[in-house]
Amino acid sequence: MIYRSDILTFILALIPFLCCSKPVPERAASVVLPDSLAGMSLAELRDDYRHRLFEEYLPFWHKGAFDNELGGFICHLNDDGSPVDDEKNLWFQGRAVWVYSYLYNNFGNDLCYLKIAEKTRDFMVERMHAGNGKWYERVHREGTVIEPEGKSVFGALFAANGLAEFYKATGREEDLRLVKETLRASLQTYDDPNYEGVFLPGELKSTGIRTQGHSMVILRLLSQLLTHQPDPELEGLAENQVDLIMNKFYNPEYGIANEYLGHDYSRIPGFEDQMFTGHSIETAWMVMFEALRKQDRDLFEAAKKRFRRYIELSWDYVFGGLGSGDFFVFGSTDRQPGTDFSVKTMWLQCEAMLGCMTVLEYTGDHWARQFYEMIRDYTLRTVASNDIGVWDQAVDRRGNKISRAGYHPKRKGNFHQPRYMMLNILSLERMLANHGKLTPFPE
C-alpha cells in the first residue's frame, strides 16, 4: 500500500531534478582544495613562484634592459642581459609600466618598482606620444623615431593598459585622461572599415577585419580600469566586448572561437572552422576575470567551460604542451585539421596556467588541477629550461628552442611570464588564507 506521505516524500525528492537540467555545481561549502599542487604544498608553490619572480626574473631586467638614465626598456637582449640594439618598442614600454605598477600595487608598495614604472611612463609619454591618443611604435634609446604611428592599435592599447595601472598607483589625473583618450582613438581607428592593423594569414586579404585578439586586449584594459575607476560609458564598452567574445566570435556550430570576422562581425567564408588557440585560451580567462568583477557566476561558468574545451583541443597528447597557432576543424590540401603544434609559445603556456589556477581557486575542478600540473611540467622542461630567469619565447613540437617567424631572435618577453607568476602568487595566497576552502565567488 502506498501512503500519501510516501508520495509527497517522493515528489519532494524529485524537485531538485525537475528544477535543474543538470546537477548543481559544487561550491565552496563542499569542495576542499588539494593540499598539494605540482608536487608541492600550496605554500611551497607560492614560494617557488616568488623565488622565480623576485630572485631570477626581475634581476635579469636590471642588468641592462631597463634604461636607468632615460627610462624605458630595451627588449632585444643577449642571454646575459646586455642589449643588442637601442630600440624601444611601444608594446614593451606599456607592458613594463603595467608590470612594475602592478608589482607596486600588489606586492608591498615597494618604491623601487614605482620608480621604474614612473621613469618608463615618463619616457613613453614624453618621447612616444604623438598626441590625440596616437603613439609612435618604435624609437631609439633617446627617443628618435624609428617607426611612426603604426597601423595596429595594439601598441597604443598596451600603453593605455600600463597607464591605467600606474594611475591606480599614483592617482594622477593626467594618466587617466591619457588612458581614455588613447582608448577612444584606438576604438575609432579599429572601427574604420579601412583598418589594416590585423595580422592576417596569407590567404586572407582584406581591410576592416575584426579579430578576437582586439576584443581581448580592449576588454582586459576596461576590466582593470573599472576595478578602480567606475564609469558608465566604459562599463557599456566592456559589456559590448563581452557580448562580442561570447556571442559573435564564438562559433557554436563547432564549439570554437573564430579569430577573424568581417567588419560587421559576420563569419568569413572559408574561416568558419578556424581558431587561433592562443587568443582563445587567453581571452577565456579574461572573461572569467570580468565575470568575477561583475559578480556574474553564469558568465564565469560559461567562460570556464569554453576555456576547458580550448585547452583540450590545443593540447599535444603525444609530446605535451599547447599549440599556439591555427586550429582547423576541417582539413584540405593546404590545411591540416586540428591544432598546429609546430610552434609552442612560452606566452600561451603561461596564459593557460593562469586560467587553470583561476578555475581551481574558485571551483576546485579536478581537470584544472590536472592540466595545470601537465602544463607547468612541460613549461619547466622546455621554455624555462635555461638558467637566465627569462624564459625562451618558443619551442618546436619536440621541445627544441626555435625563433618565431617575424620576431627578433633576441626578443625577451617582459609581460606574459611575470603577469602569470604574479597572479598565481596572489591566487595561492588567497587559497592559503582561506585554509583549504575555495575562494568565495564575489557577491
Beta bridge partners of 261: 210, 267
Report the SS3 class of residue 224. helix
Burial, 41: exposed, middle or buried (Cβ in 10 Å; 0-12, 13-18, 19+)?
A: middle
Mean pLDDT value across residues 33-58: 97
Query: Is the pLDDT score of 24 beyond 90?
Result: no
Residues whose CB is less than 8 angstroms from the CB of residue 178 and which lie 6 or more positions away in sequence, other chains included: 125, 129, 133, 160, 163
Model pTM?
0.93
Mean pLDDT value across residues 273-287: 98
Mean pLDDT value across residues 276-289: 98
b vs e for 57-73, b when ≥16 Cβ sit within 10 Å of the residue's Cβ? bbebbeeebbbeeebbb
Angle between helices 297-314 and 346-363 (to 10 degrees): 140
Query: Is the pLDDT score of 50 beyond 60?
Result: yes
Task: Report pLDDT for 30.
Answer: 58
Burial, 367: exposed, middle or buried (Cβ in 10 Å; 0-12, 13-18, 19+)?
A: middle
Amino acid residing at 400: N
Q: Percent of the chain at pLDDT above 70?
A: 93
3-state secondary structure 304-373: HHHHHHHHHHHECCCCCCECCCEEECCCECCECCEECCCCEEHHHHHHHHHHHHHHHHHHCCHHHHHHHH
3-17, 106-120, 176-190, 364-378: lowest mean pLDDT where? 3-17
Name the one residue in this structure whose C-alpha cell is 594611475.
Answer: 167
Query: Is the pLDDT score of 16 beyond 50?
Result: no
Task: Report pLDDT for 299.
Answer: 98
- Rounded to whole angstroms, the Cα distance separating 327 from 215 reads 19
Burial, 122: exposed, middle or buried (Cβ in 10 Å; 0-12, 13-18, 19+)?
A: middle
Q: What is the mean pLDDT of the chain?
A: 93
What cell was used for 16? Answer: 531538485
